[in-house]
Amino acid sequence: MAAPSQFASASLYVGDLLGDVTEANLFEVFNAIGPVTSIRVCRDAITRRSLGYAYVNYANAADAERAIDQLNNSLIKNKPCRVMWSQRDPATRKSGSGNIFIKNLDASIDHKALNDTFAQFGQILSCKIELDSEQKSKGYGYIQFATKEAADKAIAKVNGMMLNDKKVFVGPFVSRRERIAAGGAKQFTNIYVNNLVASIDDAKLTELFSPFGVIKSSIVMKDNEGKSKGFGFVNFDKPEEAQKAVDGLNGREVEGQAIYVGRAQKKAEREEELRSKFEALKNEQLSKFQGSNLYVKNLDDDMDDKKLRTLFEQFGTITSAKVMSDNKGSSKGFAFVCFATPEEATKALTEMNGKIIGNKPLYVGLAQRKDMRRAALEAQFANRTKMMPPPMRGMYPPGAQPMFYPPGAQPFGMPYPAAPFGRGRGFPAAFPPNMPGAPAPNFMIMPGARGGRGAARGGASAGRGAGPRPGRGSPMDGVGPVPVPMVGAMPIPVQPPQPAPAMSPAVPLTAQTLNSYPPEEQKRLLGERLYPLIAKVQPSRAGKITGMILDSSFNEEMLHLIENTDALNEKIEEAMKVLEEHSKKTGEQL
């Protein structure tokens, strides 16, 4: 069998492989035919699980042809494999040219028998019978010819023929998506009848539908005890008769009960139709209530639907108010309130967000779907990374993102003093150099200003680092490098920065307490509380996640995250997904 011109290469596609088949297994099989140059089992980029197919490259095309003849449909780990020429052009693979579909096959017909039957019409590139989990034929298969002319000839000759005493159907291959898309206008003869009363049997079902045409079969489905399941199927001789029965009987009352009559569908088709209807309904509801539905969290444990409605009804007409609860009926701490108009919802959001109810400040915001919240978080993270100024040399490792550092932490080995420089000057101990709210230094370190042995070596010590070294101070004050105040070229007096008021971690952080601090200090205090909580869940990425939450959330929401473990875990999960997607796009390590 010579390779067609469009596949004139020594590369083969090997499909229908089990998940545990490796390159070594394939090498044992295919190298027996001729020298193999390479083998690659295709795997999922994330999970690294086999996708069920591989590519085998031979040194010459003659060995590849012999491998197709001898190994196609052979067993690899007790499952028949499919060997064909590799198609490099994706347009050729997706065109469907030369592909045919055959159904109503006898269970005794295997891959080889099907291939031998159709080989007389032209060169076959691929022949496959669908198998179930027990490796038994499902009664249908696919054949791909090298040319469309051969496929058309096979359809004309074999369609309607008897194969092993069964009349087979052969036609052009149509993808599942195209079949489902065309399902609404599809002709049918088999109809589905539901909502039948128990007294209706096969005979009464036939009598009910016989006025609409010739019935080939009718059956009421029964359980193991022979009782009606309340539904059945009726098969007409012509599509027009089936359509007439659907139009005439759907919704009609039969023995005191309205029945449903419609086209019989396969399970996958029904699920696809229901899914599309559900998505359309959900989108319609979202567009209808856009801007009117509020998300409320940080609720007291005793809050119920009635109290929630009473709390918000002063702002307008409430169409629904629901406190979300778990399987035991306990409140999850958040709820949804839907108003009749967006104006009423906006008023409620403005008045109630941050208001103390019980012992907690409420967080009130517009309700968003999970995918919308995630998209917003991704956008915030992308803008944050774009607008962030490039870090100073040595502050971050290559490819790392700026992050929040907890009190007392050192950013990637950059030394900063635990005590102020000199006598009462420099950074206070509470501020790492890159923490939000840290005062900027107003001095520079002069090379060679260490004195002592470093100065005697011509300033060699300064080349090893610009930071102070405890115990190697200047002979002038015994403390460290000499700070030279600079603004441009003019020296100015150095003013010692005022340390921010410290707060013990044991003191509860409330909205009132937080508002008594300046905005920069609020972020620092929230970050100090959030970081250790996040570090328990994601210790290696706690800095990045804390920074993302500080940039993307309101203070009231962050207070809620500090108090509510479930809400914090959900936020961490969203941030991790954003980081993982960012890593995939940019190639950076998390």
CATH no., domain 289-367:
3.30.70.330
CATH no., domain 183-268:
3.30.70.330
Q: With contact defined as beta carbons under 8 Å apart, do 29 and 80 qualify?
A: no
For residues 579 and 213, give the distance between their C-alpha atoms in angstroms, rounded to a whole number. 63
The C-alpha torsion from 115 through 120 and 121 to 124, rounded to 10°, is 40
Q: With contact defined as beta carbons under 8 Å apart, do 361 and 510 qualify?
A: yes
pLDDT digits (tens, 9 = 90+) for 9-57: 688 999 889 889 999 999 999 999 999 999 999 988 778 889 999 999 9
Longest dimension (CA), the chain: 114
* % of the chain at pLDDT higher than 90: 18
DSSP letter for 439, please: P
Checking if the pLDDT of 586 tops 90, the result is no
Position with higher pLDDT, 585 vs 299: 299
Query: CA-based angle 440:441:443, to the nearest 5?
Result: 155
Q: How confident is the model at residue 571 (pLDDT cuts 50, 70, 90)?
A: confident
Position with higher pLDDT, 424 vs 408: 408
Query: How much is the pLDDT for 386?
Result: 59
The C-alpha torsion from 501 through 503 and 508 to 514, rounded to 10°, is 30
Q: Mean of the per-residue pLDDT values for the chain?
A: 75
Amino acid code (one letter) for 457: R
Helix (H, G, I), strand (E, B) or coil at 374: helix
Other CB atoms within a 10 A radius of the CB of residue 568 amount to 21
pLDDT digits (tens, 9 = 90+) for 85-115: 887 666 555 666 788 889 888 888 887 788 8
pLDDT digits (tens, 9 = 90+) for 205-221: 999 999 999 998 999 99
Other CB atoms within a 10 A radius of the CB of residue 121 amount to 21
For range 247-251, the mean pLDDT? 91
Instruction: Name the CATH superfamily, with its identifier, for domain 5-179.
Output: RRM (RNA recognition motif) domain (3.30.70.330)
Query: CA-based angle 262:266:270, to the nearest 5?
Result: 70
Which CATH class, in words, describes the domain spanning 372-396+507-586?
A: mainly alpha
Q: With contact defined as beta carbons under 8 Å apart, do 125 and 84 qualify?
A: yes
* % of the chain at pLDDT higher than 70: 68
pLDDT digits (tens, 9 = 90+) for 338-393: 998 888 988 998 889 888 888 788 889 888 777 676 776 667 666 666 555 554 44
Q: Where are the domains of the chain?
A: 5-179, 183-268, 289-367, 372-396+507-586
Q: How confident is the model at residue 236 (pLDDT cuts 50, 70, 90)?
A: very high
